[in-house]
């Protein structure tokens, strides 16, 4: 095999170079900084959840936080991968592939939302650029609202 400096992407390949391929493979799909910060804030509010779990067992898609008893699924979407209307910038190299990839992601996201809602779930989606404390407050309020009133405790 030739050295990386001489490596060329095969026709139709998703990576324009070996360096680009390594860079794209290093991008986390879970445990991103925004996710971790939001999880810490939600946990500090006394709420417990599943991380990177399937809300529906027969749906091969995972939510970032899952509150099964109250059926709340939370997604923290990256601006690039999910086509943020404020921050998505189409790539300069191999733009056709990447634009189609992001479009497929957005289409899959809408399908996921639809399926979860049909199954009685509340779907909360946040962009990675949104303030973490605001996201955590919305999540906590939604989970508590779906729990209903706390039973009164006797003396």
| pLDDT tens, position by position, 82-114 | 999 999 888 888 888 889 999 999 999 999 999
* pLDDT level of residue 17 (50, 70, 90 thresholds): low
pLDDT tier, 6 (very low <50, low <70, confident <90, very high otherwise): very low
User: In this predicted structure, what is the pLDDT of residue 134?
Assistant: 98
Find the helix or strand (DSSP H, E) in which 25 lies. Answer: helix 18-25
Domain ranges in the chain are: 29-147
Check if the beta carbon of residue 150 is closer than 8 Å to that of residue 46: no
Question: How much is the mean pLDDT over the chain?
Answer: 86
The CATH class of 29-147 is alpha beta
CA distance 73 to 71: 7
Out of 1-5, 15-19, 45-49, give the one with best mean pLDDT: 45-49
**Structure confidence at residue 7 (pLDDT):** 37
Phi, psi of 133 (to 5 degrees): -65, -35
Higher pLDDT residue, 88 or 15? 88
* pTM tops 0.85: no
């Amino acid at each position: 095999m030739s050295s990386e400096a001489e490596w060329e992407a095969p026709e139709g390949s998703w990576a324009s170079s070996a360096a680009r391929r390594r860079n794209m493979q290093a991008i986390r799909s879970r445990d991103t900084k925004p996710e971790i910060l939001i999880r810490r804030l939600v946990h500090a509010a006394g709420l417990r959840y599943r991380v990177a779990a399937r809300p529906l067992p027969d749906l091969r898609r995972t939510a970032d936080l899952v509150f099964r008893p109250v059926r709340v699924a939370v997604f923290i979407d990256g601006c690039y991968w999910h086509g943020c209307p404020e921050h998505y910038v189409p790539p300069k190299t191999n733009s056709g592939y990447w634009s189609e990839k992001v479009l497929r992601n957005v289409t899959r996201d809408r399908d996921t939302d639809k399926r979860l809602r049909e199954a009685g779930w509340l779907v909360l989606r946040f962009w990675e650029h949104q303030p973490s404390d605001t996201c955590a407050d919305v999540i906590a309020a939604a989970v508590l609202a779906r729990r209903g009133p706390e039973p009164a405790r006797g003396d």
